[in-house]
Structure 1
């Protein structure tokens, strides 16, 4: 990993070479990526005593990228910015090489290959907190590693912590072919559950290859109308009524809602999530939702699962940074299985 005492400094830090970098910029909200996102030259970020400067080799896009770009649901704008994005540089997932470390940082040194999360990730450089990054799995490329952090951490918390999935349980996963879903299917399979995965026709073989015991094509049949009951439902797609999902649970089953689009532009899926939490204490079933946390401890657990072969990222396509808008458009069109990676040139 190198000597963690090297190159320690306080903000700002000067790096070798150019003082500017390529970065995706968003100065206003919009639902279509092409008019909203552009690539510009910006100053390299400085780092404080407790930060790590990462030379980003790859990032990735997901549904959350679009929500932040669009400023939807409106309920999040007090945090993200009322009229325009408070942080005009999007992106969250990173995989790259440590360039420098702050004076109080231990455990990382220049030259280390890392992955994790950082703000303004769609750029050549990102300033990351050391408790948000971990050593990159050695068997993954930078592009593969960049698709892991947010989606895999969300899936881990949904399946292991919220769903409490155990061996032999019957588990239903909606949105199984997406970024979170592809990890959730693998995790549930790893824990010994019998997994039923819901996806569209062209994606059924992919989710089956990840460990799904049974697949349902939602374009041809209603996955809640066959009378089956599940011990746990991990609802990633978020487009079915709470009542319908409850009907498909066993009397003491668990519903884990990770997202939703059912409540319109003001609330997104928030109303359904709140109703689930309010109803849960009064019924035999456990109905819940959560906000995924990003931490190196959980990310290292994900790394172990990847290194042992229990988990692998599904990368649909790799786009260069200049095609970030096109990547998000492809995601919105529903043509993606797993994740889309963004590759950054390494100079």
Structure 2
């Protein structure tokens, strides 16, 4: 099968399209023929190891000291179950599925074998393969950090989302709406239309003003791009306000995936797709993500 290989940490040009062995599902594993995946900021960070401070040490320990231990990158997938192991009971051949691999990676390939009890579900009935792949990374990340901020428990839910037009930011807007939060979004002038289409009316344009100088106070500040820190935003927080950033470690759960599926099927969450690249265009896809100007998600089409 074809797979995108990352033989060393570095720029997009280190990535190679190679032929590798097709996995064989065993026991509780299902073999998924991947139709779509994504290239997101997490993939770019893994490829480049462009992270700050102690997180770089942690990532080397988790991913590999001198090069990625798992050379096939990619965290999200959608596709079709092609074969199942002899102990599989949750899925059958022909099921449309989607899921999240986290630091296990491996989705930038034509096939992947995953345990039936891992973070994989049948796709939302109303989703395309591209949409199913696109909602996973940003959705998981947004749910994790907003739950850590205890937004559901707060008597008032005034939230500031910094970097509201990326994969995580567009998801955070929709998850915050699910929790009935009062949302203020920070984005550039070119992202204002997208944020407005997601239902946000309180928009701060960072290329027009320094939002950190505002007198307004928030219960939760979520930095969806990792460009700031708590100290810079401290004056914007209420007395018991909580600051969260994607620079912190985020874990994923099957419950997060279940919530995303439920919201998508109800029409309360939609996929925001900026561009779609073919598998052979993986270097171009990473270059585009590295520019830091994508709106929502970049989809990587693996098969038809």
Q: Which has the higher contact order (CA 8 A, sep 6+)?
A: 2
The equivalent of 1:324 in structure 2 is: 282
C-alpha distance in 2 between matches for 1:174 and 1:129: 36
Give the counterpart of 2:251 among 292, 303, 322.
Answer: 292
C-alpha displacement of 1:127: 1.2
The equivalent of 2:17 in structure 1 is: 39
C-alpha displacement of 1:303: 0.4
The equivalent of 1:281 in structure 2 is: none
Worse overlay, 122-131 or 52-61: 122-131
Q: Name stretches of at least 5 consecutive residues in structure 1 with no aligned partner.
A: 1-20, 260-288
C-alpha displacement of 1:105: 2.1
C-alpha distance in 1 between matches for 2:150 and 2:200: 17
Superposed CA offset, 1:86-106 (max 9, x none): 111111110000111222222
Structure 1 residues 167 and 145, CA gap change in structure 2 (3 angstroms):
farther
C-alpha distance in 1 between matches for 2:177 and 2:12: 36
> Are the aligned partners of 1:117 and 1:128 in contact in 2 as well (CA < 8 Å)?
no
Q: How many residues align?
A: 294
C-alpha distance in 1 between matches for 2:5 and 2:109: 9
The equivalent of 1:258 in structure 2 is: 246
The equivalent of 1:102 in structure 2 is: 85
The equivalent of 1:81 in structure 2 is: 64
TM-score normalised by L of structure 2: 0.92
Superposed CA offset, 1:255-286 (max 9, x none): 12222xxxxxxxxxxxxxxxxxxxxxxxxxxx
The equivalent of 1:17 in structure 2 is: none
The equivalent of 2:261 in structure 1 is: 303
Worse overlay, 151-160 or 90-99: 151-160
Q: What secondary structure does 2:303 align onto? A: coil
Q: Name stretches of at least 5 consecutive residues in structure 2 with no aligned partner.
A: none
Structure 1 residue 174 and structure 2 residue 162: aligned? yes
The equivalent of 2:127 in structure 1 is: 140
> Are the aligned partners of 2:274 and 2:298 in contact in 1 as well (CA < 8 Å)?
yes
C-alpha displacement of 1:213: 2.6
Give the counterpart of 1:334 among 288, 292, 295.
Answer: 292
Q: Larger Rg: 1 or 2?
A: 1
C-alpha displacement of 1:167: 7.4
C-alpha distance in 2 between matches for 1:327 and 1:67: 14
The equivalent of 1:62 in structure 2 is: 40
TM-score normalised by L of structure 1: 0.81
Q: How large is the RMSD of aligned CA atoms in angstroms?
A: 1.6
Give the counterpart of 1:249 among 228, 231, 237.
Answer: 237
> Are the aligned partners of 1:167 and 1:193 in contact in 2 as well (CA < 8 Å)?
no
Superposed CA offset, 1:189-217 (max 9, x none): 22221111111111111012112231111
C-alpha distance in 2 between matches for 1:184 and 1:141: 21
Give the counterpart of 2:31 among 53, 70, 95.
Answer: 53
C-alpha displacement of 1:335: 2.7
